[in-house]
């Protein structure tokens, strides 16, 4: 009799667990976010929720089959550094999570949408992540808090500017400051007592580091960064 009661208790618990599992499964696939697990060594997706399949236009088996090409097909060319940076981030011993903002599109579409994504270690070996759990949330067309979104973007821009400035050497910052003041290369060379060729070299390096293509963009960015 006692054994029969134990069996009934176990059956009841199994039923409860099955219902919980069914509920969690529904939640994962109904969430308005792309959730997926990526293998860092193979550089491919090994699991994803249904939202991810619907928003990208790729079934899990399709995304897995093409490996890293999946990211090349769905992420904007200018934002492909995001998956590469995440791989690099987790190539070292795990310290913190990784996040970024990028553009992506559905298979067969020409329309890009902005997403904010976060990744965390999911499976580890020898204190390093071998699989990461990623969550991407669409920003384009889904934000109804316009004022707050604008404030958030301002903070992101400030962070971006600080990041760009940190990439410059002290001499490059001096050059950028003088460019923002409207000085010619010759005038900058005279002011800093360096050769014209050195100024030109520094300006090329600044443009590359700050991703600007001309003087106007460089001056505008210098003002945004509070240098000029």
pLDDT 10s digits, 44-62: 999 999 999 999 999 999 9
Q: What does pLDDT average to over the chain? A: 88
| DSSP 8-state class, residue 180 | H
Over residues 184-195, the mean pLDDT reads 93
Average pLDDT value for residue range 12-39 = 94
The span from the CA of 45 to the CA of 97, in Å, is 18
Residues 74-107: tens digit of each pLDDT: 999 989 888 888 888 888 776 678 888 899 999 9
Residue 143 confidence (pLDDT): 66
How many residues in the chain? 228
**Superfamily for 31-138?**
PAS domain (3.30.450.20)
The number of helices, as runs of H, and strands, as runs of E, in the chain is 10, 5
- With CA atoms as reference, report the closest residue to 40 among 130, 166, 119, 140: 130
- pTM across the whole model: 0.68
- Ramachandran region, residue 124 (left: φ > 0; alpha: ψ -120 to 50; beta: rest): beta
Sign of the CA dihedral with 170 first, then 174, 179, and 184 last: negative
The pLDDT-based confidence of 160 (bands split at 50, 70, 90) is confident
Instruction: Report the CATH superfamily, name and number, of domain 146-224.
Output: Response regulator (3.40.50.2300)
Domain boundaries along the sequence of the chain: 31-138, 146-224
Structural contact between residues 208 and 167, judged by C-beta atoms closer than 8 angstroms: no
pLDDT-based confidence at 2, cuts 50/70/90?
low
């Amino acid at each position: 009799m006692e054994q029969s009661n134990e069996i009934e208790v176990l059956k009841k618990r199994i039923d409860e667990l099955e219902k919980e599992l069914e509920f969690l499964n529904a939640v994962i696939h109904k969430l308005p976010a792309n959730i997926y697990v990526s293998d860092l060594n193979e550089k491919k997706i090994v699991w994803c929720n249904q939202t991810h399949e619907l928003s990208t236009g790729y079934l899990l088996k399709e995304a897995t089959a093409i490996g890293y090409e999946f990211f090349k097909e769905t992420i904007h060319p200018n934002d492909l550094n995001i998956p590469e940076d995440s791989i690099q981030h987790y190539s070292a011993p795990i310290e913190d999570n990784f996040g970024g903002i990028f553009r992506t599109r559905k298979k067969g579409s020409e329309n890009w949408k902005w997403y904010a994504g976060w990744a965390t270690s999911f499976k580890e070996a020898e204190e390093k992540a071998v699989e990461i759990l990623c969550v991407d949330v669409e920003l384009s067309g889904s934000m109804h808090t316009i004022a707050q979104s604008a404030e958030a973007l301002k903070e992101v821009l400030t962070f971006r500017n600080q990041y760009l400035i940190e990439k410059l050497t002290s001499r490059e910052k001096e050059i950028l400051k003088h460019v923002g003041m409207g000085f010619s290369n010759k005038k900058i060379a005279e002011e800093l007592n360096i050769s014209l060729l050195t100024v030109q070299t520094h300006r090329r390096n600044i443009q590359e580091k700050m991703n600007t293509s001309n003087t106007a963009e460089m001056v505008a960015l210098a003002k945004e960064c509070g240098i000029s």
